[in-house]
Chains A and B, each alone.
Chain A
Amino acid sequence: MDFKNSAELLSLCEENEIPISEVMKMREMTEGGLSEILLRQKMKRVIDIMERGTHEPLVSPQKSIGGLIGGEAKRAAEFARESTPICGTTLSKALAYSMAVLEVNATMGLIVAAPTAGSSGVVPGALIAVKEEYHLSEECLEKGLINASAIGYLLMRNASVSGAEAGCQAEVGAASAMAAAALVEMLGGTVQMSLEAASIAISNLLGLVCDPIAGLVEAPCQSRNAIGVSNAFTCAQLALSGVRHPIPFDEMAESMYKVGRSIPYELRETAMGGNAGTPTGCSLCSK
């Protein structure tokens, strides 16, 4: 069972009356040659790393090796607990979790690239917060992650997930689309709704540049992961309510890639433009 675009994925889901996660899982077994037992084992390890990464910095924050971040996730989580946060409890939790993972990454901790290290907070942040707040099972989280990997695979295959090639829209944008589609499946939406959510997510972050201060995966990467989460929540909710995107997913993927290629060199992970190119960004760079 294989597919190379979302149109093929959709028809496989419809023909067999199964969700995206199930098609992706069967593809992994037939095309990737992975047994179900090994798949479960690997998934357990992924969830383990994600659980630790989303929670540990909330208890024991650390300064990043580049010195630009450290402690933001704990601060965001505490503020949300002690006030009535305008983002609501679930999203507030997801924001803190996503920022926590970026802190782990920036302190040489263990993360799961999803799809990249720089965007590694979005998927676990969004999915684990929703799992906790909605009291969903680990199996449901697993399905969400596999659903996310299907969207990630399509973007890796048909577009790009490299900031150096296509900007932050290809990293945080891709991660946000993955999380949006996964949330829809976890919350009982249809296959079509998952794809709508992913399309809107890509569309919303289209053109986002990659401008890491001093070339480090710290700032603005950490707060970009937070926006990736908020965008995923927004798009999942819109799709679940029946809102549709006029452009199909496969065309959005192609468009994201084309936009990425037309982003100037200075704004594709070279630390020359955007945040990195400001006078303050430059002075932090020479430190």
Chain B
Amino acid sequence: MDYIGIFDAIGPNMIGPSSSHTAGAVSMALLARKLFGRPIQKVTFTLYGSFAMTYKGHGTDKALLGGTLGFATDDERIRDAFAIAEQRGILYEFIIDGKTQTEHPNTADIVMESADGYIQSVRGESTGGGKVKIVRINNIDVEFTGEYSTLIVRQTDKPGIVAHITQCLANQDVNIAFMRLFREDKGAAAYTVVESDEKIPESVLDEMKSNPNVHELMLIEV
């Protein structure tokens, strides 16, 4: 059972009104921003299910944009997210999709674009109490929460890549808490998600990149 402490019962500190529809929305966009890892020029959000039905009254739109701007769940600038995005020259769009059925009622797709045309799509679920899950990156189903130090590797699905990843982590003394492989088709693009209790040093990334079948590395520090 997860530890429940003083500041879980008297906490978290958060921008209201709803832990699932506001704080959770901030967290999933913040994760998408970390996964994107470069300046954002444009962002498009698609809201499904309960998000689509009640986003206005819960400020889910401002929360998603606030997370995209890098604000934490207790950042009072979230209320002014639209104005701040405009000041920073970030374009944003909301698509309200009340029809498409998603697995979880509180689901959003977040598509980020950079000035040089790099595009990444991330699907997040707000699972309650402010907790979130990333369940899709660029059409490949994945699953992680960002509660641990997380390394996401985009690779070609070929023999030896997973061994390479674990060897690089072992060389830097990183203890793996969870590790999973997600792929679309055999031999095509795949993601390895590694979660660790401790900080994953950035120096791991250089060694890992040396393999030609490793295409992209995304590091989420807690």
Contacts and interface: CB of A to CB of B under 8 A. Distances in A.
Nearest to B10: A149
Contacts of A66: 56-57
**Interface core residue of A123, A149, A150, A214 (most chain B CB under 10 Å):** A149
B17 interface: yes
Contacts of B57: 65-66, 214-216, 218
B6 A108 contact: no
Contacts of B154: none
Interface string B24-43: 00000000000000000000
A164 interface: yes
**A contact face: mostly helix, strand, loop, or mixed:** helix
A109 B5 CA distance: 24
A112 B23 CA distance: 12
Interface stretch (A76-84, A151-159, A234-242, A251-259): A151-159
**Interface core residue of A46, A123, A178 (most chain B CB under 10 Å):** A46
A221 B136 CA distance: 35
A113 interface: yes
A65 B10 contact: no
B124 interface: no
Interface stretch (A7-15, A26-34, A90-98, A183-191): A26-34
B74 interface: yes
Contact of B17 (A28, A157, A217): A217
Interface stretch (A114-122, A202-210, A260-268): A114-122
Contacts of B53: 215
Interface in A209-230: 214-218
Contacts of A149: 5-7, 9-10
Contact of A32 (B5, B14, B54, B62): B5
B10 A217 contact: no
- Counting contact residues on chain B (CB < 8 A from A), the size range is 35 or more
A31 B10 contact: no
Contacts of A39: 6
Contacts of B56: 65-66
Contacts of A218: 17, 57
Interface in B120-173: 128-130
A66 B17 CA distance: 10
Contacts of A164: 128
A42 B9 CA distance: 13
B188 interface: no
A111 B14 contact: yes
Contacts of A172: none
Interface in A139-168: 145-146, 148-153, 156-157, 162, 164
Interface in B65-100: 74, 76, 78-79
Given A164-B128, A214-B57, A216-B57, A115 B13 contact: no
B39 to A, nearest CB: 26
A215 B54 contact: yes
B183 interface: no
Interface in A103-133: 104-118, 120, 123
A214 B54 CA distance: 8
A200 interface: no
A11 B54 CA distance: 46
Given A110-B13, A215-B53, 9 more contacts: A32-B3, A112-B13, A113-B12, A113-B19, A117-B14, A117-B17, A152-B10, A214-B57, A218-B17
21 contacts: A39-B6, A49-B13, A66-B57, A107-B16, A108-B16, A108-B17, A108-B79, A110-B76, A111-B15, A113-B11, A113-B19, A117-B19, A123-B10, A149-B6, A152-B8, A153-B8, A156-B8, A164-B128, A214-B57, A215-B50, A217-B18
Interface of A: 24-25, 27-28, 31-32, 34, 39, 42-43, 45-46, 49, 64-66, 104-118, 120, 123, 145-146, 148-153, 156-157, 162, 164, 178, 214-218
Interface of B: 1, 3-19, 22-23, 50, 53-54, 56-59, 62, 74, 76, 78-79, 128-130
